Structure 1
Amino acid sequence: MSTGMIILAGGIGKRMGRPVPKQFLLLGGKPIILHVLEKIEKIEEIEKVVICSPKEHIDEMKKLIFNHNIQKNILCVEGGKSRQESTYIGCKYLQDVDSIIVHEAVRPFVSKKEYEALISDENENAIYGLDIPFTVLKQKDGFIDENLVRDELVNVQLPHKFDSKLLFDAHKKAREEGLSFTEDASLFYHYNPGKKIKVLPGSLYNIKITTPVDLVTCEEIYKEFIVGKE
């Protein structure tokens, strides 16, 4: 089974408050996205990678790949105006693979073993997720509207893995219907309710770097738990 990968790197870092997109900010002395690329560089099963980037940063991304001698078959393309549109664009470039992994450039701490576990899992569609250790209530118009059963909820993490054709078809339907989803598992499930999506146990280290506090936290995690264990 052939496997491709979409790396979503379309953020411009508004919440980070920096002039540089967050995927290029330094973590442990190197760009955040490089932590991701160095892991997948070692995974033979990933045959092709599509990085969805803002148009004005494509050349910078290509230079980073060249300067750090990343040899993986990587295509840098212009992403969409939304996360969902970027995944759709990535899917268009990966129609020749059986399985697609979707990941975010700013989740640097997913290990090589976690990528391999996702790829090798017998389920065609799988994600990482964590149990939610706190109470979640549904609210409407500023008032509590519904109790949710905590044991039935999951905190969704990336990477995700999906059947390539089913994922692309789901994205096409979402575009036709004008529906928006926050990530691909919910989109995929909406259009493929009969297809099971396996939830693999996630990691507390799998943080998405969105704010300055996230970056400070990840620097400490990198120093204390990651260095020498990658």
Structure 2
Amino acid sequence: MGEYSLVLLSGGVGKRMKLDMPKQFLLLAGKPLFVHVLEKVDRLQVVKEIIMPCPSEFIEKTEEIINKYGFTTPIKCVEGGGTRQESVFKGLQAADYDNVIIHESVRPFVSEKDFMRLIETSNENAIFGLDIPFTVLRGGEVVEGNLERDELLNVQLPHKFNAKKLLYAHQCAAEDGLNFTEDASLYFHYFRSDIVVLPGSEYNIKITKPIDRILAEAIYKETILLGD
């Protein structure tokens, strides 16, 4: 099963939410979004450290909140990058273990079971994904072509990877000037190796837009009823 570092991305600045603070500080049931994630990760014995890339001006605030909740897993806040990719790269550089899990602070509905399914998967590289239930076309102001929905995947986090290989792929991407929106596509670009896809959950939403806050409250109430 191995031992893991977990990089918890906390670099968002809340532009789409129209906020004056990073959206990971938004409250859900009285707690910041990232605290909901940390509470679950803290119970995973194979996760030996958590690295949180944050905006430099919010590191102190993040550390104050972490200390308030008394987590037992060591947590390191590091300065994030200007892009998601740069933040992952910085998090990987601070990681001490051979395996790494990548997750986002604004996905608070990930469950312990989700993490364990990922960890217990025999392949060292694995992600969660969902089928796309709607039609997708290629184009901008005009339609330029069709895409085969059955060949597409809605990528969810968390992901897990061999930490050294993912770090190498990030180094290559930085040298090549390539930018990726998540790590499975980056890793695949350089290694072309197997990345196992596990069935994701419709509850595991990323809170990005104002409407997501309404959805989050509804999901939270339902998950409490379900005991998850």
TM-score by length of structure 2 reads 0.96
Identity %: 51
- Structure 2 gap segments, 5+ residues each: none
Counterpart of 2:154 in structure 1 is 155
What is the identity, as a one-letter code, of the residue corresponding to 1:35? H
**1:1-230 counterparts in 2 under 5 A?**
1-94=2-95, 96-139=96-139, 142-193=141-192, 195-226=193-224, 229-230=227-228
Q: Which amino acid aligns with 2:56?
A: K
Distance 2:47 2:28 in 1: 24
**Paired residue secondary structure (1:172):** helix
Q: RMSD across aligned C-alpha pairs, in angstroms?
A: 1.2
CA distance in 1, matches of 2:66, 2:86: 24
Write the letter of the residue equivalent to 2:144.
D
Whether contact under 8 Å (1:28, 1:223) holds in the other structure is no
Letter in 1 for 2:70: N
Q: CA deviation at 1:108?
A: 0.2
Query: Distance in 2 between the 1:109 and 1:53 partners?
Result: 20
Amino acid at match of 1:64: I
Instruction: Give, in angstroms, the shift of residue 20 of structure 1.
Output: 2.5
Q: Secondary structure at the match of 1:102?
A: strand
**Could you tell me how far apart the structure 2 residues matched to 1:144 and 1:156 are?**
24
Distance (whole Å) between structure 2 residues aligned to residue 89 and residue 105 of structure 1: 16
> Offset at 1:19?
2.1
Q: Is the contact made by 1:97 and 1:164 (CA closer than 8 Å) also made in structure 2?
A: yes
